[in-house]
Amino acid sequence: MSNREGRDELREHEFDGIKEYDNPLPRWWVWIFWATIVATPIYIVYYHFGPGALVADEYQQEMDAYYELQREQLLALGEVSEPVLRQLMENPAMLSAGEKIFIAKCVQCHARDGGGNIGPNLTDDYWLHGAELMDIHRTIRDGVPTKGMIAWAKQLSEVDIMAVTAYVGTLQGTTPAMPKPPQGELMVRKPLPEADAPDAGGAGGDTGDPSEAVTEEVPPAA
Ligand code: HEC
């Protein structure tokens, strides 16, 4: 215990000439120390096994909620277009939703990393039905029924198709574990003309550019 007279007492032992004061840690410090030990199992049980949401789950929930919000904005745009789809490739909520749809519906034929299996490799520069996002969107929506690619319009909403299109767009140029050999023709996705580029459209305010409507207040990626 600390010496109330204000002088620290030397303890009796000595190691290699080093002596020690009897200087206990402050009470508040010790209490915090014990509090953390008590809190840890409660935290683990609550968050890892109980109803508590981990940070990653909360992020996912926010992304899902944001996707729901954007769904309406996107539908309000009416016609889907190449600039809108390109813009969605920059949108974390859309990509996260698109990835979920891809995992649920597409991996058995295109592989988890897009490397291809029954369906073609989606990561290379060779395309059977076009490299533009509008081409990919059309292939997903209408399918290629005679070749085993389902017309997803029957199973996925319009916005889901846009989200998974944007996700497929991000796969190109990645390196899958077991890439299927190229099918189709070598095609490069064209850069957008200046006027259609997502960040064109004038300074501030509502420019009426539909591609702007969906990017406001995108939460930053975690
Ligand atoms: C039952 C298997 C199957 C499933 C499931 C499937 N696909 Fe396909 N997909 C194919 C086949 C086969 C082709 C090639 C069609 C052809 O030969 O014309 C293809 C082609 C494509 C293409 C065009 C590739 C190119 O080279 O032009 C895209 C894009 C695509 N699929 C995306 C998707 C997405 C996204 C999903 C999930 C929503 C999906 N596919 C689910 C079998 C599948």
What are 59-75's pLDDT values in tens digits?
A: 999 999 999 888 888 88
In this prediction, residue 156 carries a pLDDT of 95
pLDDT band at 174 (very low <50, low <70, confident <90, very high): very high
185's enclosing H/E stretch is strand 185-186
Per-residue pLDDT for 210 more than 70?
Answer: no
Give me the domains of the chain, ranges plus CATH numbers.
Answer: 10-49 (no CATH), 56-193 (1.10.760.10)
From the CA of 144, how far away is ligand 1's center (Å)?
Answer: 8
Q: Are 89 and 170 in contact (CB under 8 A)?
A: yes
11's enclosing H/E stretch is strand 10-15
Q: Are 202 and 212 in contact (CB under 8 A)?
A: no
In this prediction, residue 198 carries a pLDDT of 57
Identify the bridge partners of residue 15 per DSSP, sorted by sequence position. 18
Give the residue with greater pLDDT, 189 vs 198. 189
144's enclosing H/E stretch is none
d(CA 109, CA 116): 6
Share of the chain above pLDDT 70, in %: 85
pLDDT band at 2 (very low <50, low <70, confident <90, very high): very low
From the CA of 204, how far away is ligand 1's center (Å)?
Answer: 40
pLDDT band at 3 (very low <50, low <70, confident <90, very high): very low
Mean pLDDT of all residues in 10-22: 89
Q: Which of 141-145, 189-193, 200-204 has the lowest mean pLDDT?
A: 200-204
Radius of gyration of the chain (CA): 28
Distance of CA 74 to the CA centre of its chain: 19
Helix (H/G/I), strand (E/B), else coil: 89: coil
Cβ of 162 less than 6 Å from ligand 1 = no
Give the residue with greater pLDDT, 214 vs 45. 45
Cβ of 176 less than 6 Å from ligand 1 = no
Among 95, 132, 139, residue to substitute to test ligand 1 (most atoms within 8 Å of Cβ): 139
pLDDT band at 11 (very low <50, low <70, confident <90, very high): confident
DSSP assignment of 18-75? EEEE--PPPHHHHHHHHHHHHHHHHHIIIIIISSPPPHHHHHHHHHHHHHHHHHHHHH
In this prediction, residue 89 carries a pLDDT of 95
Per-residue pLDDT for 215 more than 80?
Answer: no
| Other C-beta atoms lying within 10 Å of the C-beta of residue 83 | 22
CA distances from 162 to 61, 74, 131, 134, 187 (A): 20, 9, 15, 9, 21
Query: What pTM was computed for the model?
Result: 0.73
In this prediction, residue 140 carries a pLDDT of 98
Q: Can you tell me which atom of ligand 1 is nearest the CA of 105?
A: 37
